[in-house]
Chain A
Amino acid sequence: MSEDILKHEEEKLEELLKINYLTPNNSVFRKTEGGFSALTFNGTDYGHVNLIRAFPFSAPDEFISVRKIDGKNEEIGIIEKLNIFDKDTVELINKQLEIRYFMPEIIKIISIKEEYGHAYWTVLTNKGTCNFTSAAGSSGAVIQLDKRVIIKDSSENRYEIKDISLLSQKELKKLELYL
């Protein structure tokens, strides 16, 4: 009896220690009624699954961890490269990732007003004009990754500047102090 348990646990451990790569051969994604992705992997239907980018900044389309939606959100497997799947699947997955990593994209910085250690931003985004407040001076409110800049407001909502070099001189000047 005890041997069985040990053997079982060891098998489980081995299972845990290896990466399951999800490929078009072993996985099928479909859309749930709620518009989420559902996964059938190696014949097992996992239903609605959670999708998480392992490298949200440096490799958004690679190493996407697919996890169970309930319990402890165990990982089912990893999509190494999203583009090995067909167009519809990619679209479905991207749609869900887009919601998870929701960030309005800043097109234009209209004004940044600083008062009492806090910056009050007004920006034009792809989702319209947004007003928000961030803690000025504290590190972490503005993350810079090469050309991309991500700004977190005081509620931890995020806004993204895709390419800082596309900003005008005037806008850069406003932003510069926060980088």
Chain B
Amino acid sequence: MKKRLLSEMPKELNDKLSDSKLNYGKVLVYAQADMNEACDFCDSVLILCEDCLIFGKSTKTNNGHKSGKMLWNISFEDFTFDKYDLSVLSSPAVDLLVVGGIFRVNVESKEKVLCTFTNSCKGRVNKLCGILKDLLDNKEIIEERLSEEEHEEFCPKCGTPYPDRNRKVCPQCMDKRKIFFRLGSFFTPFKKELIIICIICILGSLMSSVWPLLNGTYLYDGVLAKNNTILPFSAFNVEDFFLLLLFLALAMAGTKLLQQVFGIIQGRLVAKIVPSVVNTLKKKVFSSIQRLSVSFFTDKQTGGLMSRITQDATQVSDIFIDGIPFILPNLFTIIFSCYFMFKTNWLLALTAIITLPPALIISVKLEPILWHYNSRQFQTSRNFRSKLNDNISGARVIRAFGKEDSESARLKAGSEYIADAQTDTMKFDLKFTLLYQITNTLSSLFTWVIGALFVLAIFKPQLSYGNLITFTGYVSLLSGPADFFSYIFRWWSSSMNSAQRIFEILDAHSDLQEVVTPIVLDDVKGKIELKNVTFGYEENRDVLKDITLSVKQGKMLGIVGKSGAGKTTLVNLITRLYDPNSGNIYLDGVNLRDLTFEQIRKNVALVSQETYIFKGTIFENIAYANPSASKSEIINASISASAHDFICKLPDGYDTLVGSGGRSLSGGEKQRVSIARAILANPKILILDEATAAVDTETERNIQNSLSQLIKNRTTISIAHRLSTLRDADELIVIEDGKITEQGTHSELVSKKGAYYKLLQIQSKALAMRGIGD
């Protein structure tokens, strides 16, 4: 990925700044803002240098707000600059608002708002504020922080903003041809079939092109008018016109029959190709998804992930099957029809062609709207389904609160919405169909009328009756291809857009990369160290701040802290679901970044509060980490996890199907299954993240016992709300607001009478009140 320095300023700004005769050190970060303190749109810039902060502001406000490239293309002509030495600045802050935020800083201890900004400018200003904060705290600024991945918010080519900021793809400028050919590669195994489809399509269009000729000129002018010369090959000089009529009838029937046969062959081939290609695409997307890091899933774009796997693949293959093969035949039909029409009577041909566009315009203009209505109808019924689903799965709550009536009112309203949407759609559909058909009928009527005038020889040259029939047959044949070409481009773009989305997943790089030459630990001991680890999911919002700790091999570390203090984040870092923003984590003295994922996963097992049970048998669920485990190993693990008893009591024992659709297990049972899973994995390092939070006290005791089996000879990191769980810990840390505030053994912390002691008192009192105290 290309990196860009945060100090890179537009040339105009650089020039203007040099003209201003300000003295300033090396520029570190530059950020643009788009509003003034009164929330009027106004261009301004913040420039953070080694020794000062420069704030530049346009003297005029903007009338309106642009998006994309336009937003960043400002002239800096009328900018004035204010310089603030770092020595006079203190407590810079970005107040995030509902939209955008405020950047404020104390200048000589007086609060000052420099600018406000919309979300369009948020990222950079936030970054600048974070670095300014560290500069004022005299913290070292790592080089890495002063650059960012090249990510534009608008297409560099045409300047329109990216519709989806997480996808840096401009639908207008993406290289559709490249995508198309890449897609084509999925069809290469079916080259032969595709060629056959193309041939069949051409033959089919040939058949349909011949039809008007048979049905018009040959029938009326040839056979019925008993004019042998008009027929092809002069109909082998047969004079018996009844026989000729029979031939013609057979030829006509044959044409229709062949068309049907071609249709069947094509349908079969399509049925063979489409599912296979869609399947390949889906499989590829699926395996790519598994490769990606957790942050990919927490990004906003995952909402569409499901639809990408299912819909995009289908949409993409559709165009290859229903679109591309028909291009040639449609073209062929157009050429053939036009050839005949112009050959017969160019004047009439021109009039006929002139009447085509109105219907085309109607379909091009109105079809998208119809489509929109349809999608709205679809949306309302989807909403209704989810409402209904809520209602049925929440039946207990509804009864308990006596809300049956209001619920059915809610459903009724939803149902009415659907009805309205359906009515709207139908109304529009009718309007559209009517308009389209009237236009079509009128134009063909027009052709008929003009044609009739030719037949009656009012217009010259005279036209035979059969030729008129054939002629109008071709006119109506033309409307199909014309329609086809009017929407194939739109179809093509949207399919390529779908394809692009699929390829994006296929090409996505995981944020976490394995090093090229990983270090291989032959025998993992299980010593964990964290050195000055700082991490935040978002810039300028650190969840963990400067954490340093170490856990010796085979020891247990207990982590205590309120929810939101950063405990689970710590676990995410140790399991390398994320990399720290600064600082490092070491396993047996080796940086986690230098190990393979496989080594980390094999040696670190996690039992968390969110137990996940896969669809499958209990046996399979326990054997998840080690599918080759024997039955006796599984039973051993379940006994250690006190899961064996409850599993045996199930009618189907270890073969009980669980997960969606299967038998549902209680929270405690799930917990025990996941503990058994961890025992079987036999890791050197075990992480218990609120492992017993979801269960009752008695089960907790059982699980505690099984856990004490599990943590023997393992390095354990245990997070718990209930301090009683952590009694066996060799060392305890208390985390508050992302920082370690207390550290020591249980007795040390008790004698310290700090936060830990306070929590302990509260909990023992609370437990005593429930009659289950120590």
- The chain A residues found within 8 Å of chain B, CB to CB, are 1-2, 5-6, 9, 32-36, 48, 50, 56, 69, 72, 98-104, 114-118, 120, 125, 127-133, 135, 137-139, 153-158, 177
Complex Cα gap A137–B67 (Å): 20
Nearest chain A CB to B595 CB, angstrom units? 36
Q: Which of B330-362 contact A (CB under 8 A)?
A: none
Asked whether, in the complex, the Cβ of B62 is within 8 Å of the Cβ of A98, the reply is no
Stretch touching chain A among B230-238, B369-377, B520-528, B636-644: B369-377
Asked whether, in the complex, the Cβ of B171 is within 8 Å of the Cβ of A157, the reply is no
Is B494 part of the binding interface, using a Cβ–Cβ cutoff of 8 Å? yes
Asked whether, in the complex, the Cβ of A177 is within 8 Å of the Cβ of B369, the reply is yes
Q: Tell me how many residue pairs across A and B have CB atoms closer than 8 Å.
A: 129
Asked whether, in the complex, the Cβ of A157 is within 8 Å of the Cβ of B70, the reply is no
Q: Which residues from chain A contact B379 at a C-beta distance below 8 Å? A: 137, 139
Partner of B493 from the list A2, A32, A116, A135 (CB cut-off 8 Å) is: A116
Q: Which residues from chain A contact B165 at a C-beta distance below 8 Å? A: 154-155
Question: Contact flags (1/0) for B39-78 with A, using CB distance below 8 Å?
Answer: 1110000000000000000000011111110100000000
Closest residue of chain A to B757 (Cβ to Cβ) is A5
Nearest chain A CB to B78 CB, angstrom units? 17
Asked whether, in the complex, the Cβ of B100 is within 8 Å of the Cβ of A102, the reply is yes
Asked whether, in the complex, the Cβ of A116 is within 8 Å of the Cβ of B162, the reply is no
Asked whether, in the complex, the Cβ of A5 is within 8 Å of the Cβ of B758, the reply is yes
Asked whether, in the complex, the Cβ of A131 is within 8 Å of the Cβ of B758, the reply is no
CB pairs A–B below 8 angstroms (13 shown)? A34-B113, A99-B97, A100-B98, A101-B97, A102-B97, A116-B497, A117-B163, A127-B40, A127-B41, A128-B41, A154-B164, A155-B120, A158-B99
Complex Cα gap A139–B35 (Å): 29
Closest residue of chain B to A128 (Cβ to Cβ) is B64
Complex Cα gap A177–B377 (Å): 11
Q: Which residues from chain A contact B172 at a C-beta distance below 8 Å? A: 115-116
Is B37 part of the binding interface, using a Cβ–Cβ cutoff of 8 Å? yes
Q: Which of B97-118 contact A (CB under 8 A)?
A: 97-100, 102, 104, 110-113, 116, 118
Partner of A154 from the list B40, B41, B70, B161 (CB cut-off 8 Å) is: B161
Asked whether, in the complex, the Cβ of A101 is within 8 Å of the Cβ of B98, the reply is yes
Is B255 part of the binding interface, using a Cβ–Cβ cutoff of 8 Å? no
Nearest chain B CB to A33 CB, angstrom units? 5
Question: Contact flags (1/0) for B459-494 with A, using CB distance below 8 Å?
Answer: 000000000000000000000000000000000011
Partner of A48 from the list B37, B111, B112, B737 (CB cut-off 8 Å) is: B111
Q: Which residues from chain B contact A135 at a C-beta distance below 8 Å? A: 163-164
Nearest chain B CB to A172 CB, angstrom units? 14
Nearest chain A CB to B313 CB, angstrom units? 16
Nearest chain B CB to A164 CB, angstrom units? 17
If A6-B762, A99-B97 touch, whether A118 touches B41 (CB-CB below 8 Å) is no
Asked whether, in the complex, the Cβ of B64 is within 8 Å of the Cβ of A154, the reply is no
Closest residue of chain B to A155 (Cβ to Cβ) is B119
Is B368 part of the binding interface, using a Cβ–Cβ cutoff of 8 Å? yes
Asked whether, in the complex, the Cβ of A133 is within 8 Å of the Cβ of B97, the reply is no
Partner of B171 from the list A50, A72, A99, A118 (CB cut-off 8 Å) is: A118
Asked whether, in the complex, the Cβ of B65 is within 8 Å of the Cβ of A130, the reply is yes
Asked whether, in the complex, the Cβ of B765 is within 8 Å of the Cβ of A6, the reply is yes
Nearest chain B CB to A101 CB, angstrom units? 5
Is B582 part of the binding interface, using a Cβ–Cβ cutoff of 8 Å? no
If A5-B761, A118-B163, A157-B120 touch, whether A128 touches B99 (CB-CB below 8 Å) is no
Closest residue of chain B to A153 (Cβ to Cβ) is B67
Is B160 part of the binding interface, using a Cβ–Cβ cutoff of 8 Å? yes
Complex Cα gap A101–B497 (Å): 35
Complex Cα gap A127–B65 (Å): 8
Asked whether, in the complex, the Cβ of B39 is within 8 Å of the Cβ of A98, the reply is yes
Complex Cα gap A2–B766 (Å): 13
If A131-B67, A133-B67, A137-B375 touch, whether A157 touches B111 (CB-CB below 8 Å) is no
Question: Contact flags (1/0) for B107-138 with A, using CB distance below 8 Å?
Answer: 00011110010111000000000000000000
Partner of B161 from the list A72, A98, A133, A137 (CB cut-off 8 Å) is: A133
Partner of A116 from the list B120, B163, B383, B737 (CB cut-off 8 Å) is: B163
Q: Which residues from chain B contact A138 at a C-beta distance below 8 Å? A: 303
Closest residue of chain A to B760 (Cβ to Cβ) is A2
Nearest chain A CB to B28 CB, angstrom units? 24
Nearest chain A CB to B39 CB, angstrom units? 5
Q: Which residues from chain B contact A98 at a C-beta distance below 8 Å? A: 39
Partner of B111 from the list A33, A102, A114, A125 (CB cut-off 8 Å) is: A33
Q: Which residues from chain A contact B100 at a C-beta distance below 8 Å? A: 102, 157
Complex Cα gap A118–B163 (Å): 6
Asked whether, in the complex, the Cβ of A34 is within 8 Å of the Cβ of B104, the reply is yes
Complex Cα gap A132–B67 (Å): 6
Asked whether, in the complex, the Cβ of B63 is within 8 Å of the Cβ of A154, the reply is no
9 closest A-B pairs by beta carbon, nearest first, are A128-B64, A118-B163, A128-B63, A34-B111, A129-B64, A116-B171, A155-B119, A130-B65, A100-B97
Nearest chain A CB to B179 CB, angstrom units? 13
Q: Which residues from chain B contact A153 at a C-beta distance below 8 Å? A: 67
Partner of A133 from the list B40, B110, B163, B497 (CB cut-off 8 Å) is: B163
Known: A128-B62, A155-B120. 18 other contacts (CB 8 A): A6-B761, A48-B111, A100-B98, A102-B100, A115-B172, A117-B494, A118-B163, A118-B164, A128-B41, A128-B65, A131-B65, A131-B66, A132-B67, A133-B163, A154-B161, A157-B120, A158-B99, A177-B376
Q: Which residues from chain B contact A132 at a C-beta distance below 8 Å? A: 65, 67, 161
Q: Which residues from chain B contact A1 at a C-beta distance below 8 Å? A: 753
Asked whether, in the complex, the Cβ of B111 is within 8 Å of the Cβ of A131, the reply is no
Q: Which residues from chain A contact B41 at a C-beta distance below 8 Å? A: 127-128
Asked whether, in the complex, the Cβ of A9 is within 8 Å of the Cβ of B98, the reply is no
If A118-B171, A156-B99 touch, whether A102 touches B39 (CB-CB below 8 Å) is yes
Q: Which of B202-227 contact A (CB under 8 A)?
A: none
Closest residue of chain B to A119 (Cβ to Cβ) is B163
Complex Cα gap A117–B66 (Å): 21
Complex Cα gap A102–B104 (Å): 17
Question: Contact flags (1/0) for B611-622 with A, using CB distance below 8 Å?
Answer: 000000000000
Nearest chain B CB to A89 CB, angstrom units? 19
Partner of B64 from the list A6, A125, A137, A158 (CB cut-off 8 Å) is: A125
Q: Which residues from chain A contact B97 at a C-beta distance below 8 Å? A: 99-102
Complex Cα gap A68–B303 (Å): 34
If A116-B494, A130-B65 touch, whether A99 touches B111 (CB-CB below 8 Å) is no
Complex Cα gap A156–B153 (Å): 13
